[in-house]
Structure 1
Amino acid sequence: MTNTDILGYTPNPNYKKSVAYFSMEFAIDQSLKIYSGGLGFLSGSNLRSAYELKQNLIGIGMLWKYGYHDQVRDKDNNMIPQFIQKDYSFLEDTGIIFSVPVHSGMVKVKAFLLRPETFGSAPLFLLSTDLEENDFVSRSITHRLYDPNETTRIAQSIILGIGGGLLLDQLNLTPDIYHMNEGHAVPLNFYLYSKFKNLEEIKKRMVFTTHTPEQAGNEEHDFSLLKDMSFFYHLQEHEVKFILGMDGDKFNYTLGALKFSGKANGVSKLHGEVAREMWGSYSNICEITSITNAQNQTYWQDTKFAETIKANDEQGLSSRKKEMKALLFKEVANQTGKIFKEDVLTIVWARRFAAYKRADLLMYDWERFLKLLNSTDMPVQIIWAGKPYPEDEGANKMFNQIIKKTLKFANCAVVTGYELALSALLKKGCDVWLNNPKMYREASGTSGMTAAMNGAINLSLPDGWVPEFAVDGENCFIIQPAADELSQPERDTKENSNLLTVIEDVVLPTYYKNPSKWYNMIQKGVDGVLPAFESSRMADEYYEVMYKKI
């Protein structure tokens, strides 16, 4: 089988190098629930733009039987995770079954194919161990994305990396480039070492995108456990340490990927700087450049809204924005029984739910928060959404505390089911997209890009991609960060105050008293985000900066 057979098109000559793109999650379409958050949104947009540009690229991922999880509510209105089997008639059973060594046993793996024409994406192969030939433990490897069990998580990386390498052999494909989107697929390198017997030969073919701007967030496990689980394929622990120049008891996925790759990238300019500072002291790592994340315009931008912006139709834009707000507010009413108004400024905080993203920062000064909610001359509506990791007790507790704290307020709502469809509704239906993570913790934070594409104005701390886009007061509202030398509680207090001040003194007066300026800010937001933060730019940059330069 040739790449062209799989792609269904002849690759554009500008992108003729063949690429296999490995990612643990892909957010391609709402109906294919194999993603958790930003990493999947990024890889999904990349595959969509690769298809639009006719790049010679295929994706390799995992077919999660129960997805990430479904958010449902219990009898007390708390959010709880449920695991519900997913079935996909649109995936093609390739009939390809092969064996991958895990724990010195052999696990059967089947490959399914998402064809390009189904959703308009580069072809995506998805691996499953949920086969009758396997025992229950082996079948469970591809049950849950990011399974909490350590050995299952390790096995998932083995299936993605080594299984993906074996699949390419089954397809008789030898890519020019292997691209690891995050470090989960790092076992691929040990499989390739068994073929090339040479680290430099792998470096000629391997590139790596890192997404995690803090040391503790980069996955690592005991060398001895990984060896026992066949993570290193046929290599012994001492051989791995010798080849990569590593020591200690722990193998760090990101460090291993940086040592195997010919080139790596952070996902914003700021993150590139952070990554070089994090890893620069280690020997024999590759160059770390920056390619800022981006999102696919075709998928994310409302077409009617795009037409009004192009026509410079202020009245048409206002009308379409109210229509998009009405669609969002139907879902809010459906979930919460609260009726929101289209002519009221609506702020949305929605993204992967983790403590450092501070979903509750608005509430830190409760009395001031109440004053904001109770304002009648310049009213506000606030919506929260997000998916905490099921085993993250702190994040789940925070999510449910926000539900409880805001339950009695008719102008506050917390909605569940934060997946592609709800994400699109929120971005199209809000006026202000709020982003207030702890500084330097957000590698990129792409949600604000797709919000801006749909006429939402970003209200953000200058972290991740934002400094590359933001012109405060012209295309966004910037929350002034607290001084770096302050303690975290002091920074939280200061940034809460700065956030509320911007809303009270700048955002609300602009929206209600200066609609022409608001319209101009929307226009400049769209102009600033397109095409610079559209994923065709990113997909092209991967070829120009990463694939052609190693």
Structure 2
Amino acid sequence: MAFDLNMYPVNPEFETSAAYFSMEFALDQALKTYSGGLGFLAGSHMRSVYELKQNLVGIAILWTDGYYDQTRDQNQLMQAEFRHKYYSFLQDTGIVFPITIHDADVHVKAYYLAPDTFGTAPMFFLTTDIEENDYLSRTISHHLYDPDTAARVAQSILLGVGGGKLLDIIERKVDVYHLNEGHGLPLAFYLYEKFGRNLEEVQKRLVFTTHTPELAGNEEHPVALLSKMSFFGPVPTEEVVRVAGVENGQLNYTLTALRFSRIANGVSKVHGDVANEMWGHYEGICPITSITNAQNGTYWRDKALHAALEADNDEALLARKKELKQELFKIVADQTGNLFDPEVLTLVWARRFAGYKRADLILRDFERFRVIIENTEKPIQVIWAGKPYPKDFGAIGIFNNIIKTTRQFKNCAVLTGYELGLSAALKKGSDLWLNTPRYPREASGTSGMTAAMNGSVNLSIADGWIPEFIRHGENGFVIPHADMQNEEKVKDDSEAASLLDVLEQEALPTYYQEPKKFLQIVKTAMREVEPAFGSNRMAAEYYEKLYKVK
């Protein structure tokens, strides 16, 4: 074979052999196999696997068109473009094998990413875009999160069955199979068949991470459709219904994964509680614990900024932060024509665009926003960035409306192309990192971790990881929750007002009138975000809590 899985000596502490299945991985700006937070998280996890020398391989799909390229039309509004990507750094393993999709053979080719390429776990990338397949089969691995239901089901089969079969072909001993979200669920049925249709044998080996309470992350389809698509392999439909506890003819990926796994986890303490509330009343599910998501400091943190922090050199830290702001503002000027000032407090909202994340919450009381944005005594600059799902027309509408609403202000900017490179520039070049989800729908929200690593202070709703980290006014700012009993519009109004209160009455005055205090908040957050929210802690915790068979 053209690859070597023994690329580094395994740390005996992490000798359990694991395989990590995820629909997306953000490993490097050049490798377009991710859409947003799930991929960023998986990428940091794989980097920590490498740093800790854990005995784990990653299983991924090689997306021919990536997610999409976020560009602008002639009116500067967002448009999605799809272009084929090619990667010379992926090694052709020479392995091609068939899997069954819709009762037909679909050929899968495996590529290998060596650990030293980007400093990650050894990774396998699967594609159906090869000449052995007809055109329709080739398109299965074209678009990450294809909007067509049948295509998306086929992608799950590719990840789960294709990944499971590849590991058998290369004779990789696997003690633990880890489903990162439910997308790869067909793996459970592949293992069920492999181990003599003995559910207990599957449960000994399968663990599961649920990442969101959102419907899109807890996919559900009719059993009849899944059976027709060969989702269950050779397992008879009536046996699937019995073993998976299917009711009303619908199979929920998350619930089924919880029934086939030995243990599962939510991705923050809050989300662990939410996941237990959502699923805990169903019969036959495994225990759900929590392992808070984290990000890899080696990859994300600015070295010069941290050197100044460790030397307790405030002058050097402030000078470096100014340089990082100037680098970000070159991107702002290039994309929008607006020239930003590095002396001015800069607030950023940047993450995957989705309605519940409320990118426009700060604009809800627009006249009050206008007063703040036009204040010359305590000036502020605001930047938005993020990729909506290309068929989420509501989120695209929010994105474009922010452009239309704020283009009148020379100190506002909406950027396109939110991938690893731009994400890093925004975190390093901002002073405040805004996070405004509807509680409790942000399961983790790891972007604020990498912002804190780079001297950007979190200004956030207390959701996801935030309650585990922020002490208001000491290492960040918390936006108070509205009364949970109120209807959504009332809660949005209340939290929009609270956001502007904290910004206007605390964050801005501290930055301009008490710069030493603001700097202390910055430094405290930088010091405290790691190691607690560094992914080495998270990767070690997965071995301790999920991978070790008691």
User: Which band: TM-score by shorter chain?
Assistant: over 0.9
2:373 corresponds to 1:373: yes
Structure 1 contact 373–379 (Cα < 8 Å) conserved: yes
The percent of aligned pairs where both chains have the same amino acid is 58
Q: Which residue of 1 aligns with 2:38?
A: 39
Structure 2 contact 127–141 (Cα < 8 Å) conserved: yes
Q: What's the secondary structure of 2:53's corresponding residue? A: coil
Question: 1:212 & 1:500 partners in 2: Cα distance?
Answer: 27
Question: 1:335 & 1:28 partners in 2: Cα distance?
Answer: 25
Offset, 1:170: 1.1
Question: TM-score, normalising length from structure 2?
Answer: 0.99
Q: What's the secondary structure of 1:6's corresponding residue? A: coil
Structure 1 contact 2–173 (Cα < 8 Å) conserved: no
Q: Which residue of 1 aligns with 2:535?
A: 535
2:316 corresponds to 1:316: yes
Q: Which residue of 2 aligns with 1:261?
A: 261
Q: What's the secondary structure of 2:42's corresponding residue? A: helix
Offset, 1:549: 4.0
Q: What's the secondary structure of 2:347's corresponding residue? A: strand
Offset, 1:195: 1.2
Question: 1:65 & 1:127 partners in 2: Cα distance?
Answer: 11
Structure 1 contact 7–122 (Cα < 8 Å) conserved: no
Letter in 1 for 2:194: K
Q: Which residue of 2 aligns with 1:187?
A: 186
Q: What's the secondary structure of 1:388's corresponding residue? A: coil
Question: 2:327 & 2:185 partners in 1: Cα distance?
Answer: 42
Deviation above 2 Å: which 4+ runs of structure 1?
Answer: 214-217, 244-247
Offset, 1:144: 0.2
Q: Can you list the C-alpha shifts for 1:273-321, whole angstroms capped at 9, x where unaligned? A: 0000000111010000000000000100000001011111111111000
Q: Can you list the C-alpha shifts for 1:101-140, whole angstroms capped at 9, x where unaligned? A: 0000000000001110100001110000001111111000
Structure 1 contact 215–278 (Cα < 8 Å) conserved: no
Q: Which residue of 2 aligns with 1:199?
A: 199
Letter in 1 for 2:181: E
* Structure 1 alignment gaps of length 5 or more: none
Offset, 1:391: 0.2
Offset, 1:7: 3.9
Question: 1:434 & 1:7 partners in 2: Cα distance?
Answer: 42
Q: What's the secondary structure of 1:409's corresponding residue? A: coil
Q: Can you list the C-alpha shifts for 1:490-539, whole angstroms capped at 9, x where unaligned? A: 00100010000101100000000111111110111012211000000000
Q: Can you list the C-alpha shifts for 1:326-354, whole angstroms capped at 9, x where unaligned? A: 00000000000000000000000000000
Q: Which residue of 2 aligns with 1:87?
A: 86
Question: 2:383 & 2:273 partners in 1: Cα distance?
Answer: 33
Q: Can you list the C-alpha shifts for 1:82-108, whole angstroms capped at 9, x where unaligned? A: 001111010001010000000000000
Letter in 1 for 2:398: M
Question: 1:216 & 1:140 partners in 2: Cα distance?
Answer: 22
Q: Map 1:382-461; keep pairs closer than 5 Å.
A: 382-461=382-461
Structure 2 contact 476–525 (Cα < 8 Å) conserved: yes
Q: What's the secondary structure of 1:294's corresponding residue? A: coil
Question: 2:505 & 2:190 partners in 1: Cα distance?
Answer: 58
Q: Can you list the C-alpha shifts for 1:203-239, whole angstroms capped at 9, x where unaligned? A: 1111000011245641011100100110001012110
Q: What's the secondary structure of 1:474's corresponding residue? A: coil
Question: 2:382 & 2:339 partners in 1: Cα distance?
Answer: 12
Q: Map 1:271-420; keep pairs closer than 5 Å.
A: 271-420=271-420
Letter in 2 for 1:325: K
Q: Map 1:148-297; keep pairs closer than 5 Å.
A: 148-197=147-196, 198-214=198-214, 217-297=217-297
Structure 2 contact 182–217 (Cα < 8 Å) conserved: no
Q: Which residue of 2 aligns with 1:138?
A: 137
Query: Residues 216 and 173 of structure 1: is their aligned pair in 2 closer, same or farther, counting only changes over 3 Å?
Result: closer
Structure 2 contact 2–93 (Cα < 8 Å) conserved: no
Letter in 2 for 1:388: P
Question: 2:83 & 2:529 partners in 1: Cα distance?
Answer: 37
Q: Which residue of 1 aligns with 2:464?
A: 464
Question: 2:78 & 2:2 partners in 1: Cα distance?
Answer: 47
Q: What's the secondary structure of 2:108's corresponding residue? A: strand
Question: 1:146 & 1:97 partners in 2: Cα distance?
Answer: 23
Question: 2:2 & 2:201 partners in 1: Cα distance?
Answer: 23
Question: TM-score, normalising length from structure 1?
Answer: 0.99
Q: Which residue of 2 aligns with 1:16?
A: 15
* Structure 2 alignment gaps of length 5 or more: none
Q: Which residue of 1 aligns with 2:524?
A: 524
Q: What's the secondary structure of 2:305's corresponding residue? A: helix
Letter in 1 for 2:297: Q
Q: Can you list the C-alpha shifts for 1:171-203, whole angstroms capped at 9, x where unaligned? A: 111200000000011100111111112100111
Structure 2 contact 461–478 (Cα < 8 Å) conserved: yes
Query: Which of 403-412 and 101-110 deviates more?
Result: 403-412
